[in-house]
Chain A
Amino acid sequence: QSVLTQPPSVSAAPGQKVTISCSGSSSNIGNNYVSWYQQLPGTAPKLLIYDNINRLSGIPDRFSGSKSGTSATLGITALQTGDEADYYCGTWDTSLSGWVFGGGTKLTVL
Chain B
Amino acid sequence: VQLVESGGGLVQPGGSLRLSCAVSGLTFSNYWTSWVRQAPGKGLEWVANIDGDGGEKYYVDSVKGRFTISRDNANNSLYLQMNSLRAEDTAVYYCAGDRSGNNIKYWGPGTLVTVSS
Interface residues of A (CB under 8 A from B): 2, 32-33, 35, 37, 39, 43-47, 50-51, 56, 86, 88, 90, 92, 96-104
Contacts and interface: CB of A to CB of B under 8 A. Distances in A.
Given A97-B58, A99-B49, A47 B103 contact: yes
Contact of A101 (B46, B59, B108): B46
A interface secondary structure, majority: strand
Given A44-B94, A97-B58, A51 B43 contact: no
B87 interface: no
Contact of B105 (A32, A56, A97, A100): A56
Interface of B: 34, 36, 43-46, 49, 58-61, 94, 101-105, 107-110
A98 B103 contact: no
A96 B101 CA distance: 15
B95 to A, nearest CB: 10
Nearest to A97: B58
B53 to A, nearest CB: 18
B102 A50 contact: yes
A95 to B, nearest CB: 12
